Amino acid sequence: MPIRAVISDFGGVLTSPLLGAFARFQEDTGVTLEQLGVAMTAGADQLGGENPLFELECGRITEERFLDILRDGLEPLMGERPALHRFKETYFDGLDPNEEMIGLMSELSGRGLRMAILTNNVREWEPIWRAKLPVDEIFETVVDSAFVGMRKPDPRIYELTLERLDGIEAGECLFVDDTEVNCEAAAGLGIRAVHFRDNAQAVAEIRSATDG
């Protein structure tokens, strides 16, 4: 069955690796990834055991509520209450557009393939991440976890994406993501998946799948 649609992740596929964003955050704030993890775990107690980041990405808490939870968790670790007032700006300062992948997606769109973005993201961050690439010029639909109340790898968000690509069957879709569990979830629904590890590998696999 030929590929008629491509569904792409945003962060880590259409941008530089996400670790760069966390590195920039650590550099600017002095907060380590380990400390963030401890604060997240502590924050789950405020949310009935739910992961604060997952709740943020599903739009069930605001960015400011999320940052307050982090501040509460980081204060005993750091000996002071961190400001975190430029959290999203610092994070996105560490992400650059992946021009090679954006160019490939533009080429595929120009060849007539249906194009979609499926991203776990944050409602308040939408203007910033959209400004990093020509979203509306390439992609006909964007499924953003924060606006639909569910996140990858929940099968329902892939099903919603297929619904928005009306007339496209799962087997006619190629899904590209830098997180393996997200690719496994897509494959479980019959969607062909490329686990993005680097440009050379991903471009070769995407071209192989779409050139047939």
- The domain ranges of the chain are 5-16+96-210, 19-93
Which pLDDT band holds residue 86 (cuts at 50, 70, 90)? Answer: confident
User: In the predicted model, is pLDDT for residue 119 greater than 80?
Assistant: yes
Q: State which CATH number among 3.30.1450.10, 3.40.50.1000, 3.40.1160.10, 3.40.50.970 fits the domain covering 5-16+96-210.
A: 3.40.50.1000
User: In the predicted model, is pLDDT for residue 170 greater than 80?
Assistant: yes
Identify each DSSP E strand in the chain by its residue range: 5-8, 114-119, 141-144, 173-177, 192-195
Instruction: List, edge to edge, every strand of the sheet that includes 114-119.
Output: 141-144, 114-119, 5-8, 173-177, 192-195
User: What's the pLDDT score for residue 169?
Assistant: 97
The rounded mean pLDDT for the chain is 95
Which pLDDT band holds residue 19 (cuts at 50, 70, 90)? Answer: confident
What value does the mean pLDDT take over residues 192-201? 98
Q: How far apart are CA 57 and CA 148, in angstroms?
A: 10
What value does the mean pLDDT take over residues 138-150? 98
Helix axes 199-210, 99-110, angle to 10 degrees: 10
